[in-house]
Chains A and B, each alone.
Chain A
Amino acid sequence: MTDARTAELRGFKEVQRLAYACAEAVAARLRPGVTEREAARMQREWLRARGVRDWFHLPFAWFGDRTAFAGFRIPLQFFPTGRRLEAGMPFILDLAPVHRGFTADVGYSGCLGPNRLHGKLLADLEAHRELILREVRERRSLREIYEDVDRLMVRQGYANRHRAYPFGVIAHKIDRVKERRWSPHVFGFGTQSLKGLAGDALHGHRDGWSPLWSPYRFSDHPPKPGLWAVEPHLGFRGTGAKFEEILVVTDSRDPEQSAFWLDDDLPHVRRWAEAV
């Protein structure tokens, strides 16, 4: 790996760690009665105080059965609401800051107090992290991998809830973003990042690939080198859980180097290690 590449990955790793640190700090401050809007604002303020000026998307917070996107029909329903947290309720914080030109997009699942069902969902996400990495290394088509994740979820007894995201994506490419003094956003998404994604989509369309990893035909291609924010999302009768983190895909011939998770020291990975 070249030095430039190592430095670049370090940049992404740092912002991803920053994002997870934010999620953990905010999660620790959640109390019964806090609303989704307040939780979203806590994330924004925490990151602003640490130099974040631009976003891939503004922070989201989902509480209770909204973690499983129960009854979601239109994208506006993703935005934080006045729903209040209660004891035993699951929650998800989803945030995508841009820091020094590097983007991260992370998802943090937690629960206010013990909830055995939620614990089970979190534990069952581990198999998905392994499956995705294995099949990306095998250079299977993204659409096929998507379907295999789907099948595993069904076998586990769960519903695929990433299907509710725009285009039903389980992942999307992320990239470096130019730092601007003024970084506006539309519908919660940073315009700089959207521009990057749209550019990729345009190129990809010509070359037969897409920056959106979906169940549709346009994802019927082998993994494209680059950085992918992968977010498998399980739902089970009003309880949802996900993780989201960066998967690095390269054009190396060595399988180990052809794909790897950018960072293995993340809250959900640590939790699985502790459970063993």
Chain B
Amino acid sequence: MSNGAGGAGGTDTGLAGARERWVRTGGIELCVAELGDPARPTVLLVHGYPDSKEVWSQVAGRLADRFHVVLYDVRGHGRSTAPVPLRGGFTLEKLTDDFLAVADAVSPDRPVHLVGHDWGSVQSWEFVTVARTEGRIASFTSMSGPSLDHLGHWIKQRAARPTPRRAGQLLGQGAKSWYIYLLHTPVLPELAWRGPLGKRWPKILQRIEKIPGGTYPTSSLPQDAAHGAWLYRDNVRARLRRPRTDAYAHAPVQLITPTGDAFLSERLYDDLEQWAPHLVRRTLPAKHWVPRTRPDQLASWIGDFVMAHEDGGLPDRGAAPSGPYAERFGGQLVLVTGAAGGIGRATAFAFAEAGARIVAVDRDAEGAARTAELARLIGAPDAWAEPADVGDGQAMERLAEKVATEYGIVDVLVNNAGIGLSGAFLDTTAEDWKKVLDVNLWGVIHGCRLFGKQMAERGQGGHIVNIASAAAYQPSKALPAYSTSKAAVLMLSECLRAELAGQGIGVSAICPGFVNTNITSTAHFTGVSVEEEERRRKKTSRLYGLRNYPPEKVADAVLRAVVRNQAVVPVTPEARGARLLSRFAPGALRALARVEPPL
């Protein structure tokens, strides 16, 4: 053995407290680390290229309190020994032997839950599709590593019938695979890794992949990378040329796809259901090295999937959420303010249907409780109501603290709470101004300030949605204070988006037009008698009712905005129209601003 990085269970590898053992198989010795109670279900983590088992340290730590977590260095990597000669020593058949040897050593009586990243996933696909491992694998979570056999069929299909779309997909993946061609050249990759590339690699990871520095990668990297080139040389060409036709998964598969992966196209998995029935799909806005950049999310999805496939599984909660939103938001923590009604409640329900956990915040405690109750009935694994006034900074601080300690770090924050105020500027009192700014602007500021900070500190991405309004760019003599508050929200969102972009946190502003909600019957009309105010409320409510644009459609725009990371989203035709005018014919907007509303 040429490399001693890390010492037994060494803390500098990030696998503090791990128990270590050696498994001998096929003439080599594999270095195996274990965490957690061996009586619990075994989760076996397989690392990729160029990596060693330490790539999993953060995920392993997060799973260890619930599971028996096992990691091993793939042959030729980390502290495991390398085959002699290297050529022919890394075939998928031999890697399968290694897996079985480790599984038999750490969990002789029960099948293991397999998790693979990158080449760890490529080889795990082999494990889960060959007959001799049947009964040894309880579930498989795959990230950023397709089956070479599936890939072979994928390429063949597209090459045999290259419609423009398929040819495009082929070229797209082809362009992302440059490194594979390079790795097939003899000797050069080894020289590069042992020389300049190996030295620079940690910096490259930090700069391009946004991986926080620290104990990773370990000092065995040049060696791992040089040996690992044989993973490609021993398998890729052979399998792509003659892919197996029986590569069907014999265990349930969960596929986690980072949407910003520089090495793998999402299209690769289009046909996967044909090989893995009941496939569970997840998408994650992140780059390739998710075990380093998104450990919380991975631990949560792996944990849920494992529990769902342990004996008996989870108690049935009715229809499992499915669809593109479920892939993205399943299990995430979503906080919505103003969730007791209207757009906020519809948004909470839409996230609940996608399987997210919901925190429904509103000053109307009863309404928020109702939202949480129904959210649980339509797919939220958990939902809580939190009464709070978003305009009250101290109350919001208490809320942020409670949410972080009891429910976790918010993945998606929707600042939606808002109130209506109508009437001429000269009729608007300082008190009126304070009220509307406290809720509509300060509410958003407090939300962004407190929960945004938690997101940034966690350093694993997230998204903030602020509900502004078409009034943010459509001036009107009837809504001076309201429009001002919303214009401020729009600008705040744009600035914050610029600030947080580097940390993987998206910010979106939603600008709806007239939406049929309760806002009209609670809005304040300045400068008129109480009776007149009541009459105007009724009249506006009827007008908004006739317009009848449902809040559910705004909610849908919110989820879409998060998935696509959109900056500003006008919703309703009138909001989109006004947005266009504001750019190309601002004069027309100013003319509209003078129109007396039909009250």
Contacts and interface: CB of A to CB of B under 8 A. Distances in A.
Nearest to A120: B377
Contact of A116 (B371, B377, B518): B377
A117 B378 CA distance: 7
Interface string A77-103: 000000000001000000000000000
A157 B370 contact: yes
A155 B367 contact: yes
Nearest to A117: B377
Contacts of B353: 237
Contacts of B288: none
A266 interface: no
A237 B378 contact: yes
Contacts of A157: 345, 349, 370-371, 374
Nearest to B349: A237
A262 B341 CA distance: 35
B196 interface: no
B318 interface: yes
B84 interface: no
A115 B318 contact: yes
A14 B13 CA distance: 81
Interface residues on A, range: 10 to 19
B187 interface: no
**Main DSSP-derived SS at the A contact region:** helix
Interface string B352-373: 0100000000000001001100
B247 to A, nearest CB: 32
A11 B319 CA distance: 44
Contact of B318 (A117, A154, A156, A237): A117
Contacts, number: 27
B157 to A, nearest CB: 33
A153 to B, nearest CB: 12
A112 to B, nearest CB: 13
Interface in A230-244: 236-237
Contacts of B518: 154
B345 A88 contact: no
Interface string A233-264: 00011000000000000000000000000000
A237 B380 CA distance: 14
Interface residues on B, range: 10 to 19
Interface in B318-358: 318-319, 341, 345, 349, 353
B341 A236 contact: no
Given A154-B341, A237-B378, A116 B318 contact: yes
A86 to B, nearest CB: 11
A154 B378 CA distance: 17
Contacts of B374: 117, 120, 157, 236
Nearest to A116: B377
A209 to B, nearest CB: 21
B521 to A, nearest CB: 9
A143 B535 CA distance: 16
Contacts of A117: 318, 374, 377-378
A37 B424 CA distance: 58
A161 to B, nearest CB: 13
Contacts of B377: 116-117, 120
Interface string A127-157: 0000000000000000000000000001111
Nearest to B370: A157
Interface in B299-328: 318-319
A156 B378 contact: no
A259 B145 CA distance: 70
A236 B371 CA distance: 12
Contacts of A237: 349, 353, 378
Contacts of B370: 155-157
Contacts of A88: 318-319
A32 to B, nearest CB: 15
Nearest to A163: B548
Q: Please indicate which of the listed interface residues A116, A155, A237 has the most CB atoms of chain B within 10 Å of its own CB.
A: A237
A88 B319 CA distance: 9
Nearest to A157: B374
A155 B341 CA distance: 7
Nearest to B548: A163
A156 B345 CA distance: 11
Nearest to B518: A154
A108 B596 CA distance: 49
A119 B374 CA distance: 12
A243 B276 CA distance: 44
Nearest to B348: A157
B502 to A, nearest CB: 38
Q: Please indicate which of the listed interface residues B319, B367, B374, B518 has the most CB atoms of chain A within 10 Å of its own CB.
A: B374
Contacts of A116: 318, 377
Contacts of B378: 117, 236-237
Interface string B425-444: 00000000000000000000
A115 B317 CA distance: 10
21 contacts: A88-B318, A88-B319, A116-B318, A116-B377, A117-B377, A117-B378, A154-B341, A154-B518, A155-B341, A155-B367, A155-B370, A156-B370, A157-B345, A157-B349, A157-B370, A157-B371, A157-B374, A236-B374, A236-B378, A237-B349, A237-B378
The 6 closest A-B pairs by CB, nearest first: A117-B377, A157-B374, A157-B370, A116-B377, A120-B377, A237-B378
Given A116-B377, A117-B377, 15 more contacts: A88-B318, A88-B319, A115-B318, A116-B318, A117-B378, A120-B377, A156-B370, A157-B345, A157-B370, A157-B371, A157-B374, A236-B378, A237-B349, A237-B353, A237-B378
Interface of A: 88, 115-117, 120, 154-157, 236-237
